[in-house]
Structure 1
Amino acid sequence: MEPSLIIQIVLMIAVFYFLLIRPQQQRAKKEKAFEAALKVGDKIITKSGIHGKIAEMNEDTIVVETMAGKIKMEKSAISSELSAKLGAK
């Protein structure tokens, strides 16, 4: 193998790492920290657009209290905390 070919392969791997793999890992880490910081009483928005308040929490699931009633869903279905969005305005 020529040294220039090896250098091109190494550069391609580095580009894939910094443009694809690393940002995805950072996003996943940020999402886990967000899920861990949730607590009962937080007002939230789910990824499907449902607004509500956390009524109960387990390790992986939550119960969201909405105007229509209570809905049990996965923690990963939460998009953002409503009070965080209101505080940003």
Structure 2
Amino acid sequence: MFISEAYAQAAPPAAGTDSGMGALGGLSGMLPLLLMFAVLYFIMIRPQMRRQKEHKAMIEALAKGDEVVTSGGLLGRISKLGETFVSIEVASGVEIQIQRAAVVQVMPKGTLK
């Protein structure tokens, strides 16, 4: 039992424990984490930010008479515009009020007949 402890104390230091290699070893350990973050940024975060900008621009460009689809799937024509709400005519004489953010898509003119 005492002999094996003596051999362990006399063993040479493990490879890669030099002061110069220690700093490089820490950086190379962080490299996979940095690469994963970069991949997630370009695959998920950046396209989502682009879609948000496009949706915001579409919401700001809404005008009376535009034919729109809501997040609930309703198709109608904008009859009144407010700061945060929009009135949509979904049938002759039937108007509903929704939030501007609930408008998902502006349809081409003539979609509603």
Does TM-score exceed 0.5, indicating one fold? yes
Asked whether 1:28 is paired with 2:52, we answer yes
Choose 27-36 or 47-56, whichever is displaced more: 47-56
Provide closer, same or farther for how the CA distance between residues 46 and 33 of structure 1 changes in structure 2, counting only shifts above 3 A. same
d(CA) in 2 for partners of 1:13, 1:32: 26
Offset, 1:84: 6.4
- Which residue does 1:14 correspond to in 2? 38
| Partner secondary structure for residue 5 of structure 1 | helix
Provide closer, same or farther for how the CA distance between residues 38 and 19 of structure 1 changes in structure 2, counting only shifts above 3 A. same
TM-score by length of 2: 0.68
Q: Which runs of 5+ in 2 are unaligned?
A: 1-24
Q: Higher RCO, 1 or 2 (CA under 8 Å, sep at least 6)?
A: 1
Provide closer, same or farther for how the CA distance between residues 49 and 35 of structure 1 changes in structure 2, counting only shifts above 3 A. same
CA RMSD of aligned residues (A): 1.9
d(CA) in 2 for partners of 1:84, 1:65: 15
Asked whether 1:62 is paired with 2:62, we answer no
- Which residue does 2:4 correspond to in 1? none
> Which structure dedicates a bigger proportion of its chain to strand?
1
Q: Which runs of 5+ in 1 are unaligned?
A: none
Question: Counterpart amino acid of 2:100?
Answer: K
The 4+ residue runs of structure 1 with deviation greater than 2 A are none
Matched-pair identity in %: 31
Offset, 1:3: 2.7
- Which residue does 1:75 correspond to in 2? 100
Corresponding pairs, count: 86
- Which residue does 1:45 correspond to in 2? 69
Provide closer, same or farther for how the CA distance between residues 84 and 26 of structure 1 changes in structure 2, counting only shifts above 3 A. farther
Choose 1-10 or 11-20, whichever is displaced more: 1-10
